[in-house]
Amino acid sequence: METSVYQINKGINKSIEFKGLKAQYIWYLGSGIVALLILFAVMYLIGIPSLICVAVIAVAGTIVVMKTYGMSKKYGEYGMMKMLAGKQVPKVVKISDRGIFLLKNDESDGKQANKRKQGIDR
What secondary structure does DSSP assign to 41-88, as a single string?
A: HHHHHHT--HHHHHHHHHHHHHHHHHHHHHHHHHHTTTHHHHHHHHHT
Query: Which conformational region is residue 20 in: left (phi greater than 0), alpha (psi within -120 to 50 degrees), or beta?
Result: left
Q: Which amino acid is at 112?
A: Q
pTM for the predicted model, two decimal places: 0.59
- Is 25 in contact with 77 (CB distance < 8 Å)? no
**Whole-number average pLDDT of the chain:** 82
Going by pLDDT thresholds of 50, 70 and 90, the confidence category of residue 77 is confident
Predicted confidence at residue 67, as pLDDT, reads 93
**Torsion of Cα atoms, 51 then 56 then 59 then 65, to 10°:** -110
Predicted confidence at residue 1, as pLDDT, reads 66
Angle (CA) 76 80 83, round 5°: 130
Predicted confidence at residue 61, as pLDDT, reads 96
